[in-house]
Amino acid sequence: MEFGFAPEDDAFRREVRAWLDTHVTADADRCGWERTLGAAGWIGLGWAEGGYGNRTATLTQQVAWAEEYARSGAPPRSGHIGENLLAPTLIAHGSGEQKARFLPAVAAGEELWCQGYSEPGAGSDLAGVRTAAVREADGYRVTGQKIWTSLAHEADWCFVLARTEPGSRRHHGLSFLLVPMDQPGRIEVRPIRQMTGTSDFNEVFFDGAHARVEHVVGGEGNGWRVAMSLLGFERGVSTLAQQIGFAEELGRVVRDAEATGAADDPVVRARLVRQWAELRVMRWNALRTLGGSAAEPGAPSVAKLLWAGWHQRLGELAVLVRGAGASVGPADWSAAAPYELDAAQHLFLFSRADTVYGGSDQVQRTIIAERVLGLPREPKGVES
């Protein structure tokens, strides 16, 4: 199953390719790149409501944009959390005032967002959130800690799942708050250094941070419904672009296997073929679910299980085909200087987290068992 491109879609793809060929540079900073995309109208292609996005594009054209972007080697996006998670959530649940305030700034690449969901005691089990938001005259006072917050060090705003009803448990009494990050003394961001040497994830500490009352999405106490709706937006067009990146990584592993002679080993060849075949299955599954109901039970969990395990196995293959050379970095390093990794080493180390972040494999299997197969629900522990 592949998309068949109509003449107008082919013309759109050529326009995308020409623009990317002209504007993609190796030295583009991520925040400036978002503004470049926004000024050219490439953010918010799928927003059909209210004219808050830039260009309008059909679903097929959105796929064309995402795939050409991935193929072009353009910089990693800093604005994807605002564009692909917050914006659809506001369109589905936000007030007219919230849409008018936040969507144009996201579409212009002028305001960046991070996601305040996971906590030290509430990661995959999101209903265990303890961050509290106490109602005041003009808003809420937010106190608590979030962790694994991607790009918090760059973000202007954070959408925060917090407990607004004292004494509430599990998914009751939660609200979805929009919190400005520029609050010195009230919000502290601490980067988490990973074994790759990078710090894309952060801890975020809220110490009486202020959130305006009109920035509660979906109404007070309805945070769980809004939060679950947002998680449904994490699949879609972006998964196809992700798979283009996966295909390029697989191509590098195949070339390394040929260069080192590892491809002569029939066991290695069989593993490479299996990786290729599984990647095709992922693409067909993404196309099958694309445009379907965001409420389709289990679909996001199936997709996460497929790509997380696949990517982790690819990382293992990347160092396997390199042999002993995989243990040597591309440059000399010492304890006084950050170490460097080549692409294969970075792939191997970073992909160790794939089966944990975004909901662990165990949690995804539980969701499929309960919501798709109808098996008895897993008993939850009682909060102290």
Residues forming the active site:
234
Mean of the per-residue pLDDT values of the chain:
84
Q: Picking from 9-18, 44-53, 276-285, which range would have the lowest pLDDT averaged per residue?
A: 44-53
Contact 12, 61 (CB under 8 A): yes
* 3-state secondary structure (DSSP) of residue 188: strand
pLDDT at residue 293 above 70? Answer: no
Q: Picking from 158-172, 289-303, 337-351, which range would have the lowest pLDDT averaged per residue?
A: 289-303
Confidence of residue 217 (pLDDT cuts 50, 70, 90): very high
pLDDT of residue 380: 61
Q: Is the dihedral of CA 152, 156, 159, 162 positive or negative?
A: positive
For residue 363, give both structure tokens.
């949690």
Q: What is the pLDDT of residues 15-35, one digit of tens each?
A: 999 999 999 887 778 888 999
Q: What is the pLDDT of residues 312-333, one digit of tens each?
A: 999 999 999 998 888 877 776 6
- If residue 210 lies in a helix (H) or strand (E), which one and from where to where? strand 201-212
pLDDT at residue 259 above 70? Answer: yes
Cβ of 190: how many Cβ atoms within 10 Å? 14
For residue 153, give both structure tokens.
């060090």
Q: What's the chain's length in residues?
A: 384
For residue 191, give both structure tokens.
């980067």
Q: Percent of the chain scored above 70 by pLDDT?
A: 88
Beta-bridge partner residues of 179: 158
Q: Which of 313, 282, 132 is nearest to 207 (CA)?
A: 132
**Residue 264: phi, psi to the nearest 5?**
-75, -15
Q: Which of 35, 172, 173, 211 is nearest to 108 (CA)?
A: 35
Cβ of 305: how many Cβ atoms within 10 Å? 18
pLDDT at residue 334 above 70? Answer: no
In Å, how far are 327, 338, 339 from 331, measured between CA atoms?
12, 10, 8
Buried b (16+ CB within 10 A) or exposed e, 358-368: bbbbebbebbb
Find how far residue 237's CA is from the centre of its chain. Answer: 12
Beta-bridge partner residues of 139: 212
Confidence of residue 36 (pLDDT cuts 50, 70, 90): very high
- Cα angle value 67/92/142 (rounded, 5°): 105
Contact 342, 330 (CB under 8 A): yes
Contact 113, 82 (CB under 8 A): yes
pLDDT at residue 308 above 60? Answer: yes
d(CA 43, CA 126): 29
pLDDT of residue 103: 93
**What number is the average pLDDT over the span 115-123?**
80
**Highest mean pLDDT of the ranges 118-127, 159-168, 269-278, 339-348:** 269-278
pLDDT at residue 350 above 80? Answer: yes
pTM of the model: 0.80
- The label of the residue with tokens 């005032």 reads 97
Q: Is the dihedral of CA 128, 130, 131, 133 positive or negative?
A: positive
